[in-house]
Amino acid sequence: MELIFGIIKLIWEFFWAIFTWFNPKRKNKRPISFAGKTCRIVTYGLNGSGKTTIIKSIISQERLGTELPTSNFELYEGDLTLDIGRKKRLKVIFADYKGEKPSQIVFSDPESMVAPGGEKLINALFFVVDVIPRLYRKGTSEIVQDDNTLVQWLVQDFIGRVDKRVAEHKLYITKWNIQLLFSNLLSRHFKSVRLLINKFDILEEASAQNLIELKHAELENFARGLFSDLEQEIREACMANGIKDFAVEVISAKKDVRIRGMFTSAIQTYIENFS
C-alpha cells in the first residue's frame, strides 16, 4: 500500500510541476535562455555623440564586459534579461566603431562578429547623432557635465551651434558611407537599423527655462527635422537592401530616457526568430 501511495504522490508532483510551469499567472517565471544565441550590434557615429553612454545604459544594469579592442572597434558584451511577454535572457555584443575619419569606414570585422566560415553575424546597426557637441572647460580636457552650463552655452547661439553640430554629423554619415556600411554588414542575420538622435534632455532643459522659443511638444519634431535628409538616406538604403525594421528615436542617453524601449524594439525581430 505504501508503494502505491508513493507512486501516486510522484505522479501528482509531476503533473503539478507541469501545471505550475505553464500557468500564465505563475510569478517569477524563469527567463527563457537563448543558450549559445548572441545579438550583435554595431554603433556608428561621431565621438562625443553618446554611443558609449547608450551601450552602458542598456547593459550596465546587469553585467558589462569589455572585450579586447580592435583597431576600429571598442567591443562590449553583456547578458540581459528582457521582459517581452515572458522574460527572455540574451547575450549582447556591441561593436562601437571608433574611426575618426569617414575614409576609415572600410574595416575588417571583429572576430566575434563573424562566423568561422566568414559569414557576417551582425543583427542591427545603430546610427548615433546628437544636437550639441561635447563642451570642455576652458583650457582643459575636462568635459562639462553640468546641464545648466551646457544649456547656457548653447543658447548664446542656439541655431548656429546646433546647425554646426548637425553639419558635422552629415559630413561623417554621408550617403556614400551609409551604402558602404550596408555592403560591409549585410547578411541574412542583419534585421534592424536605428537612427538615434541623442541629448534631447538639453533641448528640454532649454525649453523649460524659456531660453528657446520651442515649446516642449515641438522639440521632438524639431530634433527629427534637423536630420530629415539623413533619415531619408538611411530609409532608402534599408529599402534597397530589404531591411524592413527601421525607426528613428529621439533619446537622452545621459538621462536614460527611451533607451530600454528603443533597444527592445530594435531586437524584437531577432528575438522572434528564436522564440
Residue 165 contacts residue 130 (beta carbons within 8 Å): yes
Least confident of 110-119, 150-159, 205-214, 223-232: 110-119
Contact 49, 130 (CB under 8 A): yes
Residue 81 vs residue 184, higher pLDDT: 184
Please give the average per-residue pLDDT across 79-84, as a whole number.
73
pTM: 0.81
Confidence category of residue 56, pLDDT binned at 50, 70, 90: confident
**Do residues 154 and 201 touch, judged by C-beta distance below 8 A?**
no
* Average pLDDT of the residues in 131-141: 85
Cα 36 to Cα 13, 56, 90, 121, 193: the distances in Å are: 31, 22, 9, 13, 23
Mean pLDDT of the chain: 80
pLDDT for 247 beyond 60? yes
Give the residue with greater pLDDT, 179 vs 134. Answer: 179
Quick one: pLDDT at residue 240?
A: 95
Residues listed for the chain: 275
pLDDT score of 148 more than 90: no
Q: Alpha helices of 173-245 — where are they, by DSSP H?
A: 175-185, 200-208, 216-226, 228-240
Helix and strand numbers (H, E) in the chain are 10, 7
4 against 267, higher pLDDT: 267
CB 181 within 8 A of CB 44: yes
Each residue's pLDDT tens digit, 155-204: 899 989 999 999 999 999 999 999 988 988 888 889 999 999 999 999 99
One-letter identity of residue 189: H
CB atoms within 10 A of CB 78: 20
Name which CATH class applies to 29-273: alpha beta
- List the chain domain ranges: 29-273
> Is the per-residue pLDDT at 79 higher than 50?
yes
R_g of the chain computed on alpha carbons: 23
Q: Identify the DSSP state of 169.
A: H
DSSP label at residue 12: H
| Segment among 53-57, 62-66, 136-140, 249-253 with least mean pLDDT | 62-66
Residue that wins the pLDDT comparison between 109 and 192? 192
Task: Kindly indicate the confidence band of residue 59, based on its pLDDT and cuts at 50, 70 and 90.
Answer: confident
Contact 151, 205 (CB under 8 A): yes
- pLDDT digit string, tens, across residues 21-45: 444 444 444 444 444 578 899 999 9
Predicted local confidence at residue 29, as pLDDT:
45
Strand partners, 87: 83
Residue 33: what pLDDT?
A: 41
